[in-house]
């Protein structure tokens, strides 16, 4: 189609050029022919024969619009125009008329006069005796060109139509297998690898369809193999996950048992200190006071003064030991936890720490129903707060400490939130190795499926956020 359009454009452009070329060739031929026959008429002055010849020529040749003959002086001697209403515009063509002469020898070798022209060819002289001017009409040439253009256009239309028909057949022949290949590739892209195509065509399309069959078969095998591996790996992962969950649950129970055992041991030690050591200290204190009473009833003497001083020393020491034992008992087994609950126990603990020399100022805030927190969870929360506050007093160099405890009840699971914020020196968590205290806190939180977050930086203080689910922690030690 592009070639046909190009050829049509060429015909439209070259048509006028061909018309002018035809007119020029025709005009030059006619002018030369008339000039050839005009010598006698211009030489003799008898233009009747020339007039008759030119009129016949104009009548017979539809290309000619007018023929004019001029003499050497430029005077028009003859002008014949077409009488059938032809139009000019085909161009003007001139041909000069030359005088033709014969060379004459007066005498030959036989001394008889003769014309050498009878023996030699005629030759033209350079003397011009007139001009023949031919004016052509463009109608015949234009009509001829139109017919030629129409014929060529019809041929181009026939050839173009045949080309379109052949191209359509070829396109359909190529489109069917190509469309089949495209549909098959879309099926493969969508995940359907069980694609089988009928390879009826040869050549490159047949090779393409065969390659698609091979590819889909390979992908189907690879998919089956991969699905098998995924299933096997999934079973392994599920088994590993179950083992990990089982181990995790066992680890939590083990940590809870260890904490429970530690609390039981602390309770046992507290009871022994309270029942035995404190009783012994009270007995020693009563004995020292009896000695003081006896010394007071005796007459003054140097031995009595020494006995009195020793008895007072014993009384003071036993009193200090008794106070220390009470503090140890409170740390081992906080009785206020049973009497006041977690909220009151934490508040009493903060007051004790704040009373120590150089201790920071503590602010305690609480919210929620703390009656939900009891048993092992209450003890764990108390120990966590105790460890946090102890670390602040030992290392933070803080002036203000904010301690918050909140019980948040929700539809899914009630939660106990503990927060300790200080304005101390802080530290870089990446450059400081975790101590036993922090590790123990994490283990306690892990045992109750909770979470612990530590936020700190050098010079920016420290914040510890602890979250403990209450539902999982409700159990007694």
Show which of 189, 222, 243 is a domain's final residue.
189
Could you tell me if residue 110 is inside a domain? no
Q: Say if 119 falls within a structural domain.
A: no
Same domain, 280 and 310: yes
Give residue 473's pLDDT. Answer: 42
CATH assignment of the domain containing 164: 3.30.450
Residues 247 and 303 in one domain: yes
Please tell me whether residues 254 and 177 are part of one structural domain: no
Regarding whether 164 and 68 lie in a shared domain, the answer is: yes
The whole-number pLDDT of residue 157 equals 85
Domain shared by 6 and 76, yes or no: yes
* Averaged pLDDT in 10-residue chunks for the chain of 477 residues: 77 79 86 84 82 86 86 86 78 84 54 52 65 85 81 84 85 73 77 72 70 78 83 84 70 65 66 66 74 79 78 79 71 67 86 85 90 82 88 88 88 85 86 73 84 88 90 45
Residues 163 and 284 in one domain: no
Query: Within a domain: residue 172?
Result: yes
Same domain flag for 315 and 207: yes
Predicted confidence at residue 477, as pLDDT, reads 38
Contact 448, 469 (CB under 8 A): yes
Residue 112 covered by a domain: no
Final residue in a domain of this structure, among 159, 189, 219: 189
Q: So what's the pLDDT on residue 474?
A: 45
For residue 79, being part of any structural domain is answered with: yes
From 189, 207, 238, give the residue that closes a domain. Answer: 189
pLDDT of residue 112: 57
Domain range for 55 is 1-101+125-189
Please report whether residue 207 resides in a domain.
yes
Would you state the pLDDT for residue 419? 94
Residue 226 belongs to some domain of the structure: yes
423, 363 contact by CB (below 8 A)? no
Looking at the structure, tell me whether residues 260 and 311 fall in a common domain: yes
Q: Are residues 349 and 404 in the same domain?
A: yes
Residue 171 and residue 25 share a domain = yes
State how many domains the chain has: 3
Is residue 113 in some structural domain?
no
Q: Which pLDDT score is estimated for 418?
A: 93
**297 & 377 share domain:** no
Q: In this structure, are 327 and 354 located in the same domain?
A: no
Looking up residue 389, the CATH number of its domain turns out to be 3.30.565.10
């Amino acid at each position: 189609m592009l070639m046909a359009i190009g050829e049509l454009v060429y015909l439209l452009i070259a048509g006028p050029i061909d018309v002018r070329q035809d007119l020029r060739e025709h005009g030059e031929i006619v002018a030369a022919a008339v000039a050839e026959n005009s010598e006698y008429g211009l030489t003799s002055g008898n233009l009747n024969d020339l007039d008759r010849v030119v009129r016949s020529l104009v009548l017979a040749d539809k290309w000619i619009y007018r023929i004019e003959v001029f003499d050497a002086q430029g005077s028009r001697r003859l002008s014949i125009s077409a009488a059938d209403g032809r139009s000019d515009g085909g161009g003007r063509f001139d041909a000069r008329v030359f005088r033709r002469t014969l060379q004459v020898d007066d005498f030959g070798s036989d001394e008889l006069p003769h014309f050498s022209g009878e023996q030699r060819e005629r030759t033209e002289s350079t003397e011009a005796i007139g001009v023949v001017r031919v004016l052509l009409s463009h109608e015949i040439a234009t009509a001829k060109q139109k017919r030629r253009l129409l014929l060529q256009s019809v041929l181009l239309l026939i050839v173009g139509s045949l080309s379109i028909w052949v191209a359509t057949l070829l396109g359909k022949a190529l489109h069917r297998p190509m469309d089949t290949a495209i549909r098959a590739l879309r099926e493969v892209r969508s995940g359907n690898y069980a694609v089988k195509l009928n390879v009826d065509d040869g050549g490159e399309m047949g090779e393409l369809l065969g390659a698609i069959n091979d590819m889909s078969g390979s992908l189907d095998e690879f998919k089956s193999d991969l699905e098998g591996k995924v299933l096997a790996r999934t079973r392994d992962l599920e088994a590993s996950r179950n083992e990990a969950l089982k181990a995790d649950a066992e680890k939590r129970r083990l940590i809870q048992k260890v904490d429970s055992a530690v609390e039981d041991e602390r309770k046992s030690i507290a009871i022994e200190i309270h029942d035995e050591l404190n009783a012994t200290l009270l007995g020693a204190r009563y004995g020292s006071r009896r000695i003081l009473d006896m010394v007071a009833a005796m007459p003054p003497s140097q031995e009595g003064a020494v006995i009195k001083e020793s008895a007072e020393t014993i009384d003071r020491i036993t009193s200090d030991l008794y106070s220390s034992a009470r503090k140890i008992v409170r740390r081992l087994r906080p009785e206020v936890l049973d009497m006041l609950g977690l909220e009151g126990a934490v508040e009493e603990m903060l007051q004790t720490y704040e009373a120590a020399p150089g201790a920071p100022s503590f602010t305690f805030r609480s919210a929620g129903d703390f009656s939900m927190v009891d048993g092992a969870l209450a003890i764990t929360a108390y120990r966590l707060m105790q460890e946090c506050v102890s670390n602040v007093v030992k290392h933070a160099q803080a002036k203000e400490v904010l301690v918050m405890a909140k019980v948040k009840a929700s539809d899914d699971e009630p939660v106990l939130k503990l927060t300790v914020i200080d304005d101390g020196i802080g530290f870089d968590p990446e450059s400081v190795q975790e101590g036993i205290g922090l590790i123990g806190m994490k283990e306690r939180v892990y045992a109750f499926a909770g979470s612990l977050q530590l936020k700190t930086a050098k010079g920016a203080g420290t914040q510890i956020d602890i979250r403990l689910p209450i539902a999982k922690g409700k159990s007694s030690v």
